[in-house]
Amino acid sequence: MIYMQTQNKTKNSTIKKSIFAILFLTGIMAPVLIFACSSPININTLSASNITQTSATLKGQITLCGILEKATVWFQYGTTTSYGQVTSEQKNYPQYGPFTADISGLTPCANYHFRAVAKDDNGIIYYGQDMAFATKCNIVSPTVDIKANSSDGPVSIAYNSPASLSWTSTNATSCQAYGNWSGIKATSGSESTGNLTFSKVYTISCAGQGGIATDNVSVNVTQNMPPIANAGQDKEVAELASVVLEGSGTDPDNDLITYSWSCGGGTLSNPNISQPTFNAPSVFVDMNYVCILTVSDPYGLSDFDSMNVKIKDQTPVPILPTVDIKVNGYDGAINVAYNSLVNLSWTSTNANSCYASGGWSGTKATSGNESAGNAVLSRTYMIICSGDGGSASDSVIVNVTPVPQGNLTIEKLVRNTSDGTAWLDSVSADPGEMLSFSIKITADSSAVQDVILKDALPNRIIFRDNLKIDVVYQSSDLIAGLNLGTFNSYQSKTITFDAEVANKNMFSVGDTQLINTALVYSTSSSSSDTAKVVVKKESPTDISTGLTNNIFFDSFFLPLVIALSLVWLFRARIIRFEEWLDMRNKIYRQFKAKKILQFRCAKIKAQEYIGKLGFKRG
């Protein structure tokens, strides 16, 4: 016990001598009182009571020694031994007795230190010893109730007859059977014990976020009476601390009984005594462990009882983060005109990082504001913030009022670039020739937004790139869809690209018509047009390879027959070849003489012309 001496030693000595003389003269156990008090005030700190999540009652006891009759008392308290907070002073407190003070505004799930304080009339302060207590937590514990034949038990049944078990629970996610049954059970249900020949105890433990709850029911079979187990009251202990389990057992037949404890966690000093010491493990959250006491008699009959040991986690509970996002200063969904500016702002608490999702993305500060630009489409903007206590999210919706849109017209033409034709609705082409396609799109008197063009070529016309929009080269995919953006009123855009007709192996003889369709569409309208390519494939020339397919006949026998027939015809003068040959020679000679005459005449005319010009013959 500590006290502060603020007077000098001489004064104390004088006071003590005076006290001694008065007590001695009055004859009231003067020697005993002098040696029983080590100081004028004895102050003791007692255990706190009425502990809740946010309040408690502090207790102390004071004894005044000597001539002191009254003192002033109060308490110091706080989360450390430095305390930091005090209760109101209680003045003129009598010589002996307990005193209390109620405190509130405490933090749930927290450890507090406190001590009693006293002060005499001379201003000397005396301190009691440091004590501690823990406030209760907010977690809701589960409950479970098991019955036999609709009774909490114990119930008695005839030998070799069944009992019906039924159970219900609250705030539980799973249940486990112990004792004379086992296995995982539903959080509520019913089940038959089957025919029993000796008494049994059915224990069920149900677990939830708030820990574990246990209940049991005894079914007694009328015969040799089993012992009765009592696991005692539930216990509460801080992690890594110890507590004694207050088990007991009785036997109606006064048989010698034995004890056996089993617990769902922690360790026991000796599981085979009625009241072992339970050593709590380290936990991350408050946990409830079920301890089951089994009491047995020498004849194989036993009884079970269970109790809960609640282990308090000493780690401070993290606080969940919060986040709030607004659009143009509003929480809810808002409607904005097309192409209007959208501003986002957000704040959060207990968060150390945030990121965006939905209509925006990326890592964000834990609070801030940002422009989302001009809105042309309805979007949802979400932000997720994380902290030590978990994560939180919030979102806002921006609905964009659509702008009235007009209609589109489309004109598609084709030309054969290999043959140099003009732009036409339909052209002829040979296999392998190059083509060019032109697509002209025009808006009417109203603007059209988000215009998409698709052109699916027939499978025998091959796309050869050179895609252009108003003669500007593009690298987009026309087949999948080309985004042409917004068309103002009466605006036109011309799209051109090259293609090639497949080779002749892909076509049959004759004309093949290949029709190419272009489709343009927006959210308000669509239109299409076609261009036709007529592919011509000529029939190949037949080449005679013989009269028959017999090589010997066509190559040897048939020519021999023809030669012998010609010889016979000449010799029989059926064919007058010599006369024909003479006639041909006569015609040739006449032709040759005519040519020589024409040449000489031409030569004479040339010489006469040269002479007129004054040149001599060479």
CATH number of 143-312: 2.60.40.10
Q: What is the DSSP string of 351-392?
A: -SEEEEEETS-EEE-SSEEEEEEEE-S-EEEEEEEEETTEEE
Distance from C-alpha of 218 to C-alpha of 225, rounded to nearest angstrom: 12
Q: Is 70 exceeded by the pLDDT of residue 530?
A: yes
pLDDT tens by residue, 63-94: 888 777 788 999 999 999 999 999 999 987 77
Distance from C-alpha of 413 to C-alpha of 436, rounded to nearest angstrom: 9
State the pLDDT at residue 253: 78
Percent of the chain with pLDDT strictly greater than 90: 50
Q: How far is CA 8 from CA 11, 12, 122, 184, in A?
A: 6, 7, 12, 74
Strand partners, 125: 119
Percent of the chain with pLDDT strictly greater than 70: 87
Give the helix/strand (H/E) hosting 585.
helix 577-612
- Collapse the DSSP code of 442 into the 3-class scheme (helix H, G, I; strand E, B; otherwise coil) and give the result: strand
Domain with CATH 2.60.40.10 in the chain: 2-134, 143-312, 322-401
pLDDT tens by residue, 387-411: 988 999 999 999 988 766 678 899 9
State the pLDDT at residue 16: 43
CATH number of 322-401: 2.60.40.10
Contacts of 509 (CB under 8 A, 6+ apart): 537, 538, 539
Total Cβ atoms within 10 A of residue 351: 23
The larger pLDDT score, comparing residue 585 to residue 531, is at 531
Among the residue ranges 109-123, 294-308, 429-443, 584-598, the one predicted with the least confidence is: 584-598
Q: Return phi, psi of residue 224, to 5°.
A: -55, 125
Q: Is 90 exceeded by the pLDDT of residue 362?
A: yes
Q: Are 272 and 260 in contact (CB under 8 A)?
A: yes
CATH topology of domain 2-134: Immunoglobulin-like (2.60.40)
Task: Identify the residue whose tokens are 């992690």.
Answer: 239
Task: Identify the residue whose tokens are 């507090």.
Answer: 112
Nearest to 273 by CA among 301, 245, 235: 245
CATH topology of domain 408-537: Immunoglobulin-like (2.60.40)
User: Dihedral (C-alpha) 243, 245, 246, 248: value to the nearest 10 degrees?
Assistant: -160
Domain with CATH 2.60.40.740 in the chain: 408-537
Mean pLDDT, rounded, of the chain: 84
Q: Are 23 and 30 in contact (CB under 8 A)?
A: yes
Q: What is the DSSP letter of 556?
A: I
Distance from C-alpha of 232 to C-alpha of 249, rounded to nearest angstrom: 10
Instruction: Look at the pTM and tell me if it is higher than 0.85.
Output: no
Coarse DSSP helix, strand, coil percentages of the chain, rounded to the nearest 5 percent: 15, 50, 40
pLDDT tens by residue, 35-46: 346 678 899 999
Give the helix/strand (H/E) hosting 587.
helix 577-612
